[in-house]
Amino acid sequence: MILMKDIIREGNPTLRATAKKVSFPLSQEDRDLGKKMMKYLEVSQDEKLAEKYHLRAGVGLAAPQIDVSKRVAAVLVPDNDGSIVFKDVLYNPRILRESVKRAALNEGEGCLSVDRNVAGLVIRTDRITLEYYDVNGERHEIKLENYPAIVVQHEIDHLNGTLFYDHIDKESPFKLPENTIIIE
């Protein structure tokens, strides 16, 4: 099971590398990789289990964060009522289309690989068309908006060596650019 000790932190070069695509049919290793990343998210979102295993809650986890430079990311986005908005392991995810409209989370962003608070608006695209392959090699093309779209962009950033604070305007971190909505 993935524990916090397995998650690499700022300064580890893998976090700044461009991860490599996986090939299909997936090797057992790449199947298991996706499975254990999703397991981390499930356990981290269970209050009791997260406490038991000292896990930071996560709605997404990218393979580079456990020092595996492959284009694989697990996403588990719950709704406020505990239902699931979006859950899958994304193999070779790619953003096909981006809206002109931008979005940023009101409370900014954090990262399991960043052990400090970096304040500021993380400016992202509000609506995306996402292409990815699932564990069976099936191609998916889906539209996401608002919070799920933010989470997926955060994870795809990890596959490209980008961290959330790269998107914060250093001069004026809380400036709201034109055409940008705040997501509460």
Give the residue numbers of the binding site.
111, 154, 158
The answer to the question of residue 120 lying near ligand K2U (CB under 6 A) is: no
Q: Does 15 help bind ligand K2U (rule: CB under 6 A)? A: no
d(CA 167, CA 173): 9
**Residue 155's binding partner out of ligand K2U, Ni ion, none, with CB under 5 to 8 Å set by partner kind:** ligand K2U
Nearest alpha carbon to residue 116 among 108, 106, 124: 108
The least CB distance from residue 179 to ligand K2U, in Å, is 20
Site residues for ligand K2U, 19-58, by CB under 6 A, read 57-58
CB-based contacts of 62, cutoff 8 Å, min separation 6: 19, 72, 73, 74, 155, 156, 158, 159
Annotated binding site for Fe cation: 111, 154, 158
Please tell me the distance from the alpha carbon of residue 174 to that of residue 121, in angstroms, as a whole number: 5
Contact between 150 and ligand K2U (CB under 6 A)?
yes
Asked if 150 and 126 count as a contact pair (C-beta separation under 8 A), the reply is no
60 contributes a contact to ligand K2U by CB under 6 A: yes
Catalytic residue among 51, 155, 171, 184: 155
Strands across the sheet with 72-78, in order?
A: 60-62, 72-78, 84-98, 127-133, 139-145
Any catalytic annotation for residue 42?
Answer: no
Catalytically active residues are: 155
What residues make contact with ligand K2U under the rule CB under 6 A?
57-62, 105, 109-113, 150-151, 154-155, 158
